[in-house]
Chains A and B, each alone.
Chain A
Amino acid sequence: MAKLDPQEPVFSRLSYWLVIALSLCWLIPLFWVLGLSFKPNEELSYGLGTVFRAPYTLDNYSDLIRSSQLGRWILNSVVVSIIQTVLVLIICSIAGYGFARLEFPGRRALFVFVLIGLAIPRQAIIIPLHAMFVDLDLHNTYTGLILPHLGTPFGVFLMASYFRALPRELEEAAALDNASRWKIFLTIALPLSVPAQITLAIFTFLDAWNDYLWPLISATRPEMYTLTIGLAATQTNFDQSEGIGYLMAQAVFAGLPMLILYLIFQKYVLRAVAGAGGR
């Protein structure tokens, strides 16, 4: 954990500068797209190199707001992601506490049975899941977009291991006061689990917001598209579409809110990712 000081070995300093160079490579596509989104489409048809000189314009963004369904798609994504996150937090916290702290017949076997689910990839069940939702008439609904994610065991696993690591003393004191298990959970364990809740919320929200395969199959009507699927639909005929500038404005419009949210919550996001690996 050496600071950048003159004593630092050449090797270490060299690798640091290499990574700085690499990080610039990571940034270039983002800035390039940002630049293109402010260029008139007619001028870009002469070549994308024109991005380095004026004129710049906001027309692409005003076209976007006027003519596309982007607003609707963002609304769909927000509704689906937030409801899904809240439901996953509730269901997984309760179940995680049950597995971690309560004794009941068959607990151990059931927990192993749930852990097996961690190894089931979504692709392995997507065909029958689609058929089930056809029978239930759930496609092209918010319920249809949210439900499949509520059965995944990752959150239960995360919450159970967090609750298990909490000290038991507080809960035992409350149990002696004849508080019910439910009350103990709500008033003592749940408030203590906020860090794990934040981790689970970040993972669930990112997963919901960026999900591609399931909404692609389930939401087939344009007014039910999530942002991810809506953007996919507009880029299928990339070459003869409305113009590069317009498409890049879409990319910025769709990507920037997430990047801003990420920059605000980066401390929590990075801690969540690093912490989840430690388990």
Chain B
Amino acid sequence: MTTLVGVDAARGRRAARAGWWSRWAGLAFVAPFLVLYLWLMIYPLVSGVIMSFQYKDLLSGTSEFVGFWNYEDLSIDPIFIGSIFNTLRFVILTVPAFVVLGLLIALALNRPTRGAAIMRTLFFGPHVLSVTVVTLIWKTVYLPNVGMIDAGSTALGLGPLSILLNPDWALAAVALVTVWWSIGLPMMLFLAALQQVPQDIYEAARLDSASPLRILWTITIPSISKMIVLVAVIEVVLQFQVFGQVNLLTGGGPNNTTRSMVMFIYQAGFQQWQAGYAAAASQILFAIMLVAAGLQFWVSRKPAES
């Protein structure tokens, strides 16, 4: 490119204009996206921060600058604090399940047989369904008294569990649905990583007649440790944003035990129309997500370096 520019410039004004063009042509390529990006990502991000320092009622249209008032209010709002803990609990319930179960399924299905291919397709299948289809399915599974779970527990003599109405179990029930829905993603990521592990290491270990568990622990897991971290980070970021499942399965109940942070933001912003308050809550969600993802990177990088 640079040589072309030099040659062109030496050829008088017309060529100079062409040289100017080739220098800036790249910007023309990226400009349409940049405009959209500035308009639809960066501008809302900045105005969201500003909004979080305002009292802004979307119904009456009033707005005024109130400093940290929204944040102070959030810090003593028991529903918001509860939603942070619910979200953390949800992340703790789902992320280890995604990592461990995803890895176990990937290990078992990492073979070139037809059966393994069919099961890979099967485990990923629910991932293409929208959250509303998933919750329709699981609402009937969890239906009090007559659903699959309650029919089973009644047959076992436990009586109906009505799991979505039970404050101790509702969040775990939502977590189970989430794992069913999207175990396919970690499974496929782990399979991709397992394919990259050179086979000759395994052959050597087998000749040493190392036990399968030992091979798993000393060869397989260290070879895919990068992917384990990546999957954990991706899932933390995804599960912090849990919304559809809880909104549709429990509506935040029973007794506020399943209300997530995004659900809090949605309700504050679009049911109570308190935009400033909701914007402040989104900044806190954003900050927590950044810290969680960053922390995870940092923690997992340490042992690898030492």
Contacts and interface: CB of A to CB of B under 8 A. Distances in A.
A212 B33 contact: no
23 contacts: A3-B113, A4-B115, A15-B107, A15-B108, A16-B108, A16-B111, A18-B108, A32-B141, A95-B32, A98-B26, A102-B29, A103-B26, A123-B243, A123-B265, A131-B47, A181-B26, A213-B262, A258-B129, A258-B130, A259-B128, A261-B128, A262-B125, A269-B128
A13 to B, nearest CB: 10
Contacts of A101: 26
A128 B44 contact: yes
A108 to B, nearest CB: 12
B282 A127 contact: yes
Contacts, number: 285
Given A124-B286, A132-B44, A274-B192, A259 B125 contact: yes
Interface in B261-295: 262, 265-266, 269-270, 275, 278-279, 282-283, 285-286, 289-290, 293
B199 interface: yes
B34 interface: yes
Interface residues of A, number: 101
Interface in A79-133: 91-92, 94-95, 97-99, 101-107, 110, 114, 117, 119-132
A236 to B, nearest CB: 8
Contact of A228 (B24, B34, B109, B131): B131
A36 B140 contact: yes
Most buried by A among B113, B132, B266: B132
B279 A99 contact: no
Interface string B139-171: 111010011100100000000000000000000
B137 A1 contact: no
A258 B128 contact: yes
**Interface SS of chain A: helix, strand, loop or mixed?**
helix
B74 interface: no
Contacts of A94: 29-30, 32-33
Interface in A1-48: 1-4, 9, 11-12, 15-16, 18-20, 22-23, 26-30, 32-33, 36, 47-48
Contacts of A33: 136-137, 140
Interface in B20-52: 22-30, 32-34, 36-45, 47-48, 51
A238 B180 CA distance: 21
B79 interface: no
Interface of A: 1-4, 9, 11-12, 15-16, 18-20, 22-23, 26-30, 32-33, 36, 47-49, 91-92, 94-95, 97-99, 101-107, 110, 114, 117, 119-132, 147-148, 150-153, 156, 175, 181-182, 185, 206, 209-210, 212-213, 216-217, 227-229, 231-232, 235, 238, 244, 247-248, 250-251, 254-255, 258-259, 261-263, 266, 269-270, 273-275, 277-278
A122 B40 CA distance: 10
Given A30-B137, A98-B26, A103-B26, A23 B122 contact: yes
Interface stretch (B92-100, B183-191, B297-305): B183-191
B112 A3 contact: yes
B213 interface: yes
Contacts of A213: 243-244, 262, 266
A273 B124 CA distance: 10
In the complex, the 6 A-B pairs of residues with the closest C-beta atoms, listed nearest first? A98-B29, A102-B26, A151-B40, A104-B26, A95-B33, A274-B192
